[in-house]
Amino acid sequence: MGDAEKLPPGSDSELFIDHARWLMEWHSKRSESITARAVSLLGFVGVVLALMFQGAALNLKPSGYTWALLTVTLVAFVTAGICSLMAIMVRSMSVPSVDNLRDWWVAHVRSPKPGTMAPQFAEAYLNSLGSGGNKSPVSESKIDADARAKFFRSAVIATGVGLVSLSILLFNVLNLIWK
């Protein structure tokens, strides 16, 4: 007799539940990591913008080139800040509710049928039965992590553009000061 013949009914459901749990956990950790980096980037952008406004106190006669660089720099850093906020933003997800769990428990207590609950939980995680949504919690956790990653990537690119234009702007301002 093989091992497959010794497994109780419904054991495949447990395998699906374990894998769904692992996937949700992995995407959740991915989302948390991106969120932590986005918070750091948002703080950096805030400091740079605050310091840029301190530069307004300099008594300079800026050229059109300086104004263009300043505009590009401000737009890039504001875009980076907005994208960082979008990466941090909380999104809703559909998972089996407490009421669903309580209803399933009451039904199980009234008429216990061993091996019937694991398939129901697998269905709830993978097909969103009773979760009130059209997508499964596993796919929604991936969609959430992907959205955060997209916004964070945009924030990093905007920050890079802002740093390059800020560097050029700095040389331009130093040139104006030394004249």
| 3: in domain | no
H or E stretch at 90: none
Higher pLDDT, 179 or 71: 71
Look at residue 2 and tell me whether its pLDDT is greater than 60: no
Domain that holds residue 43: 24-94+135-178
Residue 96 is predicted with a pLDDT of 67
| 148: in domain | yes
Tell me: the pLDDT tens digits for 4-29? 444 455 567 777 777 878 888 888 89
| 47: in domain | yes
Give residue for tokens 């301190």.
Answer: 54
Look at residue 80 and tell me whether its pLDDT is greater than 90: yes
Number of domains in the chain: 1
3-state secondary structure of 40: helix
| 1: in domain | no
| 114: in domain | no
| Selection from 11-20, 26-35, 126-135 with the highest mean pLDDT | 26-35
The model's pTM: 0.73
- Residue 102 pLDDT class (50, 70, 90 cuts): confident
| 123: in domain | no
